[in-house]
A and B are shown apart, each in its own frame.
Chain A
């Protein structure tokens, strides 16, 4: 037994926890800070040793040049592709999941087959897809990538939404059916509100999958719908790497995800833990 009074020991334990938490925050945030700060440095500062922890002046020029050359437009491309494909995947996936749960469409096996599609490594299909896309003339089009991302996200959305919908008490839907709703109205007025947290959590992840995609975008785009992930690689040159541009582009690519997660935070925590408890 230590000689300290109880409340002081509790105090120590608490401050220890805060210390630990602060340490973890620093460890996880440092790379983000470093990326952020590089995007405002001059080339000299970037390569300086010892490292420059914070630059003397902020070089907004690193960003300016991205906008001037139109490179920043690739972030917009990513945003369009990820949002639109998420939108369609959520609609189709939720309706499909509802059908699987309530009408046992395809029996037990269809659901498993659907999620098995998710296990296919993208690289296994990207080249056949490329040939197909060349044939259809879909290479380097919004349409082509949106279809692909939607199709690729669907199994995940169906699988997740299936879990959330299964948790909705059947009585709520039956009550609505008796009260005068059609199936579609039940979906809209009962299922969606009931599965809201799960819906948002799933949408965020679906968005991030599409947002972070590199492989499909690399193979299936040229110049028109280049995504920011592909654009960043253009700054790794033969002789030199444009670190400031890489950093600035990466920051631009992080912002939308950051905002999305910030807005959806409330639902994310609940949606994820809902799934966790269910197992």
Chain B
């Protein structure tokens, strides 16, 4: 539990970067090496890593972070429409606007803690969702979603060139944001986001957030004004969500209100808990597993199941397919729910706890011979 040294942190960063950047290669054999899915991994990774700074460190469970995701997406698309197809201004603006939203919502929600805090955040997110469909349609374009149009101004782009035929695509100074280059762009941002999260975890600021989670009363009588600490964590995680939202719009320049729905907020909670709340790597693992299985299971149907179970006698295969089919395709959420229940009941610390347990098991095995040697020596 000692604070890791900078050297060790950098070593972890190096490995993390290598693993992320080589994803297209090692995910290929698993059938997940294509850009669309890889981008999803990276974008939801940013979302979850940021969410973990709030939930993992302070223990404040927000059910409204999808609102910041949505705000990030809308801001990015507006930046594409008004200024330029270059993603840099879009990203910077999205992070700032999402941060501002988080500051306002956080300021109000953090007047309460526990379940009341969660309900306040949920209420705010649902409010944003409904506003996006009603009063704010001039900004959000309602149910159709905000899209690029030929009539967009793009004032910065117009300074350099005439509007071309058809709709332009997003770029990072000429680098296309679709396909593998799009993935690598998101991956680099994920690595930066992870690095910042690691610094926060191991800083005095981060340890104080953990202390607030552990015993907020003690913190107050120890001389800390806990509110600004909590608000900072809330705003930082909101900015991460804004970044993730911007990247969604970057890879596909479209923003809809469904991104703000409570199910989207719930998803990031699931990912974080599944991987391991309050651990650095856990949320990334949660994202990987959920997005990977979503991809496989939601694409399956009864026919595919019959093929998988073809090796069984027909009557048995029919039974197995009948049992498993509600869990695939549209029913993927059923699988997710079951998986989540199993984890929470048997491994409340998520996958990271599982890994810790296995590690302990092995270290005990390796310790034993030493113990025996000592016993022999004394006898």
- A, B assembled together: no
